[in-house]
């Protein structure tokens, strides 16, 4: 196993990781509180198994994040122990790790079924999900009952559990649902949800947790109609590890734990995320000259001018990035915790010697952004000789974290794309990283990523720059 720190600078240097399993950041959760030792027979180090996914664990801008990741970290912190994370390739290998003693607990939603009850001891908060109909919001034509699906066209992934459920539902209501089975290799559930949002297809069916997560990106979808029986799921330990299970159960019932749970739930499943698309009205246009003198772009032009010169950038490109990041709002905070003018993640700030509380200072925010851009340029200079092309990779990595761009370069090289060209090549490969087939590929080391946001980000920044440089 390979230990490494999940901060921005750790992504600058290449990291060698075992093929299917990786131990992530060993989070120091020990507390100096005077409350005393709360471990109560628990191990000093809790080995946590999970999977890469949009809900359990992923890496964003160099920071490790995820709904399950944050919850188990809270447990470890409250119990005054250290958490080490082991990311498995799939559910089967994760269950084998638990059985063999390689991990102590699975922080992933394990269905509470007869099959799994024979293998594990469930513990902690039980989450209930359904399969739900995804449709566009409409006052007049909203589907509110499954019987209204007769005659409707519903699109699902071929061979998926959603297809099975839809076939059973069609039988239950006497037939008449027009079931379209999508079998494109690169298409995943998230793509179908986006297609509903954009009106390309009328309906799809997905699990309610995935639907809730995606509704934070697409505010025009309705996910209120359940089309299946509820499915309960929770974390799990070995059947013999009753002490750990009891500890997790007791902790999950504490008032403090419940309040933290609500905060984590809100962060991932309720707070609106940035849309990957922009309207023309959202771009900043170059102010008209007055009295023969060109007007400034922002109150921070002097800062952009000063620091852009240290990296050989046009200051207006740095200003364009700031506009796309924060709309020049020094108090802006994203759902992920990025702060300030240049939307720096707390982990990145610490890696460059700045306390996160200082990120509202525009000069410090731009300085840290430029330092990170310097490091990114040094990394990509060995791979991409053309400065203009390299700049696209730098902008992409600023948005996603360098690990995901490195993965996309490796995927592009493996699957016949040009690893030194962004548009149409590495740009396409980073989109693949939302698909398990690709983010579990042996050349990928940084797991799941929603590549659409980075693809859109590069285009938005460069389009904004083109608008500001037009005379």
**Full-model pTM:** 0.86
Name, in order, each residue with C-beta under 8 angstroms of 147's C-beta and a sequence gap of 6 or more.
173
**Helix runs in 277-334, H state only:** 301-308, 315-326
Instruction: Output the six-digit token pair for 327.
Output: 């709309």
Instruction: Output the six-digit token pair for 377.
Output: 């340029």
* pLDDT tens per residue across all 471 residues of the chain: 223 333 334 333 323 223 233 444 443 343 333 344 456 678 899 999 999 999 999 999 889 999 999 999 999 999 999 999 999 999 999 999 999 999 999 999 999 999 999 999 999 999 999 999 999 998 778 999 999 999 999 999 998 999 999 999 999 999 999 999 988 766 788 899 999 999 999 999 999 999 999 999 999 999 999 999 999 999 999 999 999 999 999 999 999 999 999 999 999 999 888 765 556 667 887 666 555 555 688 999 999 999 999 999 999 999 999 999 999 999 999 999 999 999 999 999 999 999 999 999 999 999 999 999 999 999 999 999 999 999 999 999 999 999 999 999 999 999 999 999 999 999 999 999 999 999 999 999 999 999 999 999 999 999 999 999 885
| Cβ atoms within 10 Å of 306's Cβ, excluding its own | 15
User: Are 312 and 403 members of one domain?
Assistant: yes
User: Are 345 and 442 members of one domain?
Assistant: yes
Domain enclosing residue 337, as ranges? 298-469
User: Are 302 and 428 members of one domain?
Assistant: yes
User: Are 364 and 321 members of one domain?
Assistant: yes
Residue 460 lies in a domain: yes
Residue 1 lies in a domain: no
Place of tokens 């990741």: 69
Inter-residue contact 86 to 69 (CB < 8 Å): no
User: Are 98 and 239 members of one domain?
Assistant: yes
Residue 48 lies in a domain: yes
User: Are 355 and 383 members of one domain?
Assistant: yes
The CA-CA-CA angle for residues 300, 362, 281, to 5°, reads: 55
Residue 283 lies in a domain: no
**Number of domains making up the chain:** 3
User: β-strand 153-157 against 231-238: which pairing, if any?
Assistant: unpaired
Instruction: Output the six-digit token pair for 27.
Output: 């989070």
Inter-residue contact 97 to 35 (CB < 8 Å): no
Inter-residue contact 407 to 17 (CB < 8 Å): no
The gap from C-alpha 198 to its chain's centroid, in whole angstroms, comes to 21
Name, in order, each residue with C-beta under 8 angstroms of 151's C-beta and a sequence gap of 6 or more.
176, 177, 178
Residue 137 lies in a domain: yes
**Helix runs in 332-435, H state only:** 346-351, 362-381, 387-400, 402-414, 427-431
User: At 186, which CATH number?
Assistant: 3.40.190.10
């Amino acid at each position: 196993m390979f230990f490494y720190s999940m901060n921005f600078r750790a992504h600058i240097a290449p990291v060698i990781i075992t093929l299917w399993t990786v131990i992530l950041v060993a989070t120091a959760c020990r507390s100096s509180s005077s409350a005393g030792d709360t471990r109560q027979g628990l191990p000093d180090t809790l080995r946590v198994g999970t999977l890469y996914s949009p809900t359990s664990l992923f890496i964003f801008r160099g920071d490790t994040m995820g709904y399950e990741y944050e919850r188990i970290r809270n447990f470890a912190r409250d119990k005054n122990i250290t958490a080490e994370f082991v990311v498995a390739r799939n559910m089967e290998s994760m269950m084998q790790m638990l059985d063999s003693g390689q991990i102590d607990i699975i922080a992933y939603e394990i269905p509470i079924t007869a099959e799994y009850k024979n293998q594990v001891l469930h513990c902690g908060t039980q989450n209930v999900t359904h399969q739900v109909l995804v449709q566009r919001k409409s006052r007049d034509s909203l589907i509110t009952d499954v019987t209204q699906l007769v005659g409707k066209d519903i699109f699902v992934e071929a061979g998926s559990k959603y297809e099975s459920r839809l076939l059973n539902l069609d039988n239950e209501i006497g037939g008449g649902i027009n079931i379209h089975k999508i079998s494109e290799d690169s298409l995943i559930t998230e793509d179908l949800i986006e297609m509903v949002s954009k009106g390309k297809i009328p309906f799809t069916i997905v699990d309610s947790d995935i639907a809730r997560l995606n509704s934070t990106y697409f505010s025009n979808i309705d996910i209120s109609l359940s089309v299946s029986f509820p499915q309960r799921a929770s974390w799990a330990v070995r059947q013999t590890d009753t002490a750990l299970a009891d500890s997790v159960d007791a902790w999950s019932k504490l008032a403090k734990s419940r309040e933290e749970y609500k905060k984590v739930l809100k962060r991932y499943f309720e707070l609106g995320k940035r849309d990957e698309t922009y309207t023309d009205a959202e771009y900043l246009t170059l102010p008209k000259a007055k009295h023969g003198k060109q007007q400034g772009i922002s109150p921070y032009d002097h800062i952009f001018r000063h620091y852009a010169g240290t990296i050989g950038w046009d200051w207006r490109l740095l200003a364009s990035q700031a506009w796309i990041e924060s709309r020049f709002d020094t108090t802006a905070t994203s759902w992920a915790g990025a702060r300030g003018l240049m939307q720096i993640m707390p982990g990145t700030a610490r890696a460059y010697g700045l306390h996160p509380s200082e990120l509202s200072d525009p000069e410090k925010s731009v300085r840290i952004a430029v330092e990170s851009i310097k490091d990114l340029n040094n990394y990509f200079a060995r791979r991409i000789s053309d400065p203009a092309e390299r700049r696209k990779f730098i902008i992409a990595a600023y948005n996603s974290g360098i690990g995901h761009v490195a993965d996309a370069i490796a995927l592009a090289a493996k699957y016949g794309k040009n690893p030194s060209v962004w548009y149409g090549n590495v740009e396409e490969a980073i989109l693949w990283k939302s698909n398990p087939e690709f983010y579990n590929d042996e050349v990928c080391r940084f797991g799941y990523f929603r590549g659409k946001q980075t693809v859109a980000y590069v285009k938005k920044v460069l389009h904004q720059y083109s608008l500001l440089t037009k005379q």
